[in-house]
Structure 1
Amino acid sequence: MISEKVSLGTINPIIPTDYPDPDVIRVGDVYYLASTTMHFFPGCEILRSYDLLHWEHAAYVYDKLDSTEGQCLSNGENIYGKGMWAPCLRYHNGCFYLSFCANDTQKTYLYKADSINGPWKKQYIDGFYHDGSILFDGDRVFIAFGNREIKLVELDSELKGPKKGGLQRVLLRDENNPRLGYEGCHFYKINDRYYLFLIHSLPDRWMRTQNYFMATSLEGEFRGGELFCDDMGYFGQGVAQGGIVDTPEGHWFTMLFQDRGGVGRTPFLLPLRFKGANPYIEENGKLPSEIEICNTNPDHKYLSLTGSDDFSKTGKISNTEDGRVTTDAAFDSFGMRSFWQWNHQPEISLVKVDTRKRELVLSTDRICDKFDQAINTLTQRMTLPRSRASVIVNASGLKVGDRAGLGILCEEYCYLAIEKTDDGKQLLLISKENGDEVVKYTQSLGDEESYVFRVDANTYAPVGNATVFWKKLSENEFKPVPFSKSLQFTLAHFVGCRFALFILSMKNSGGKVSFSDFKYEVY
């Protein structure tokens, strides 16, 4: 265990990509962080750290939720801007608990596991608990939740629903804020006092602030106020909403997030201090210039949260003695590297990783004419301040009417594709603008089957931009496509922009595309 002082200016944001609504706990000398994953599968990613500064993938909680038409992108349905959000992660009596609500199903889910790696057992909590936060208090258990009106409900011992005759009350109201009332509950008991940490917006302008309220009993009045109001020098975007955690040495921190434009919502680590029982972040109106961090495993080598993939391995490892299938820690249960997520719940029978040829092969089984309705679209988060993705696309398996390539997934998406036509293959750039798909560039292609596509994304400003390139596999230099795409965060998807590998069939299903040598760079 090593303690070191670190400048705040060099560690924020802690994770320069889209991990919103962070809830963080410590179990022994290990920290875990759960985050919103919305419509992506596998879902509810949990990260691991030994120093609160560096994070790596630890687990996904589920491969599927309820397999609804929306979750599966079936019959024109989707769950963009919905799905799971604002998870609560707890560890109690040797068991991990993970709860969240899903706004497409209007249900509250609870998963339990003895190990962070699972298996996670699913159940429901009767009721819909927006931004719910669970508190274990002796032999009683409670959930605080809500928007504008923050409520408390005592749950039964199995966390299946409200306890008959249990405590239910309103803790706070913030109904007159014209922008955002209190929400984003994080609920704790520290030294016999009860703490609520919440966000809301300044009433006179849009800016998130972090707030706290404290009471000496669950029946008592919760009092408090603003805890942190600062944009950390970034375009008036406040830093707020997240959990708190203590270190083995007894220091406290809070993990909040900030809207960072097209890249999404990025976590920030801030020191949390106490004057008596009252928490505070700033000292004399300013953040301390440095904080002391305790590293409980200084020799640990962290896996990257984004990365390149040559598709030479899968994570499904057969155990020949008893036939079990296990998963390498760097991979998910679908066999993909953990930094990949499918746009919605995948139809995994249409996916093949050919480790001999080092290819990812995606096939179609339905007709689709929109990029954001294509199943089995494989995505990665973009990274601040600039990130780049390139991939080899082999079009030999396309049918007439198929499009396949590299895209930017967001509400106003764009994609660069090879399209198979009656007259041969063409290069096609499509951009969604004001709700409509617009053809921005076309070019006839020759007899070659493989091409390399590249997207360069600049995501520092609230509205970033991306440029697109391509080349024949035999060529050395990329050719720029005369087009620039704006990158921004919107509520319709509620996540940052992502790189995406895809295929869609507009006339006949059954086509396939092969991807190889995916390269990811941060620059």
Structure 2
Amino acid sequence: MMKEKVSLGTINPVIPMDYPDPDIIRVGDTYYLATTTMHFFPGCEILRSYDLLHWEHASYVYDRLDDTDGQCLKNGENIYGKGMWAPCLRHHNGCYYLCFCANDTKKTYLYKAENIKGPWKKQYIEGFYHDASLLFDGDRVFIAFGNREIKLVELDKDLKGPKKGGLQRVLVREENNNYLSYEGCHFYKINDKYYIFLIHSLPTRWMRTQNYFVASSIEGEFRGGELFCDDMGYFGQGVAQGGIVDTPDGHWFTMLFQDRGGVGRTPFLLPLRWKGSTPYIEENGKLPSEIEICNTRPDHGYMALSGDDDFSEKGKKSNNADNRVTENEEFDSFGMKSFWQWNHQPEISLVKQDTKKRELLLSTDRICEKFDKAINTLTQRMTLPRSRASVILNVEGLKDGDRAGLGILCEEYCYLAIEKAGEESILLLISKENGEEVEKCRQSLGKDKAFSFRIDANTFAPVGNATVFWKKISEKEYKPLPFSKSLQFTLAHFMGCRFALFMFSTKKAGGTAAFSEFKYEVY
């Protein structure tokens, strides 16, 4: 174990990517962070760290949720802005518990595992518990949840629903905030006192703040107030909502998040200190200039949360849809590297990796007219402040009307594609603007079969921008298109913008696009 002092200004956001609603625990010398993944599959990603500063993929909790039409992008349905969110991760009596609700099914899910990598066993908790947090208290277990009115319900011993005759009460209530009342529960028992940490907005204007309440007993009055109100120098966007954790040497930290425009919602690590039973972050209105970090495995090398893929390797697929154990932690149980996620639940029979040719093959089995309705779109998060993605596309297997390429997945998306028109390859740039698709470029490229696309994304400001480039595979230099795309976070998708590989058929299903040499760069 090694201790080091780190300047607080150099580590925030601690993960410069879209990992919202962080909940955090420590088990022995290892920290785990669970995050919202909404409509992306596999779902509910858990990260791992040994110093709270550097993070890597540890597990996905599920491959499939309920196989609904919305989750599978079938029959015109989708779950954008819905799906799973605000997970609660706990470790109790040698077992991991992961709880969340899904706003498309209106159900509350509980997954249990003896190993953080799984297998995770799924069950439901009767009721719908918004932004829920579990508390194991001796032989009792409680769930805190809600918005505006924060409630507490005692659960039965199997966590299948409310305990008959068990405690049910309101912990905190606020009715008259026109921006955001209390929500985002994180519930703890520390030194025989009960704490609830909540997100909130200033009542006079939109700005996230972090709040806390404490009581001496589970039935006592919860008192508290604002814990942190600071935009960390970023455009008035407050930092709030997340869990707290202690270190092996007795220090405390909180992992909150901040809206960071098009890149999404990024985790922030802040010191949590105590004056008796009162938590505080700032002293005399100021953060400390540096914090002391306890690194439990200083020689550990971390896997990146984004990256290149030449599709030359493939992870072992699991026969059990909830079994997360693979031969190599770098892969998920769909056989993809762990930094990839599918937009909605994939139809994996239409996906193939040819490891000899080093290609990812995406095929179609249905007609689709819009980019955001296409199944098997493969995505990676963007990274602050600037990130770049490029890929080679071979279109020999496309059928008439097929479109395949590289895009930006968000509500107001754009994509650069090759559209097959008879024997011709058509360069196509589509941008969704004010809810409507606009064709920005249509250019015949003759009978060429291989191309390379690139997207450069600048996501520092609340409204960022992206530029697009292309070239024939025989050419050395990329050609820019006269186009700039605004990148911003919207509530319709509720996730940050992502780079996306895609293929869809507008006329006849059955075509195949071949992707190779995917490159990812932070610059």
Regarding TM over 0.5, the answer is yes
> Where does residue 510 of structure 1 map in the other structure?
510
Map of 2:353 onto structure 1: 353
Aligned letter for 2:315? Answer: G
Superposition map of 1:15-414 within 5 A: 15-316=15-316, 326-414=326-414
2: CA distance between counterparts of 1:112 and 1:327?
Answer: 21
1:457 aligns with 2:457: yes
Deviates more, 1:500-509 or 1:417-426: 417-426
Secondary structure of the structure 2 residue equivalent to 1:327: coil
Deviations 1:382-401 (A, max 9, x none): 00000000000000000001
Q: 1:425-474 CA deviation, whole Å, 9 max, x = no partner?
A: 10000000111111011111122211000000000000000000000111
Q: How far, CA to CA, are the matches of 2:314 and 2:80 in structure 1?
A: 28
Question: Deviations for 1:296-331, whole angstroms, at most 9, x for unmatched residues?
Answer: 000000000000000000011799xxxx99431000
Contact 2:317 2:334 in 1 (8 A): no
- For these two proteins, the number of residue pairs brought into alignment is 519
The change in CA–CA distance for 1:317 and 1:160 in structure 2 (over 3 A counts) is closer
Per-residue CA deviations over 1:53-89 (Å, capped at 9, x if unaligned) read 0000000000000000000000010000000000000
1:438 match = 438
Whichever residue aligns with residue 340 of structure 1, its letter is W
- Give the whole-Å Cα distance in 1 for the aligned partners of 2:326 and 2:290: 42
Which residue identity does 2:305 align to in structure 1?
L
Residue 467 (structure 1) aligns with = 467
SS at match of 1:482: strand
The residue number in structure 1 matching 2:483 is 483
Aligned residue type for 1:33:
L
Q: What is the alpha-carbon distance in structure 1 between the residues aligned to residue 415 and residue 326 of structure 2?
A: 35
- Amino acid across the alignment from 2:231: D
Structure 2 Cα separation of the partners of residues 445 and 229 of structure 1: 54
SS, match of residue 356 in structure 2: coil
Q: What TM-score comes out, normalization by structure 1 length?
A: 0.98
CA distance in 2, matches of 1:60, 1:325: 10
Q: C-alpha separation between the residues in 2 aligned to 1:497 and 1:70?
A: 20
Q: Which residue of 2 aligns with 1:419?
A: 419
Distance 2:449 2:441 in 1: 20
* Cα shift at 1:423: 5.7
1:392 and 1:175 map into 2 onto residues whose CA distance is 54
Task: Give % identity.
Answer: 82
Q: What amino acid maps onto 1:493 in structure 2?
A: H
Please tell me whether the aligned partners of residues 391 and 518 of structure 1 are also in contact (alpha carbons under 8 angstroms). yes
Q: For each residue in 1:113-153, what CA deviation from the matched residue of structure 2 results, as whole angstroms up to 9, or x when unmatched?
A: 00001000000000000000000000000000000000000
Report the residue type matching 2:408 in the other structure.
Answer: I
Q: What whole-Å deviation, never above 9, does each CA across 1:158-193 have from its counterpart, x for those lacking one?
A: 000000000000111111001100000000000000
Taking the aligned partners of 1:425 and 1:54, their CA distance within structure 2 comes to 44
User: 2:317·2:333 contact (CA, 8 Å) conserved in 1?
Assistant: no
Q: Deviations along 1:91-131, whole A, 9 cap, x unmatched?
A: 00000000000000000000000000100000000000000
Task: State the Cα distance separating 1:358 from its structure 2 match.
Answer: 0.2
Q: Given residue 286 of structure 2, which amino acid in structure 1 is its aligned partner?
A: K
Q: Where has structure 1 moved over 2 Å in runs of 4 or more?
A: 324-327
CA distance in 1, matches of 2:282, 2:497: 32
* Corresponding letter in the other structure for 2:122: K
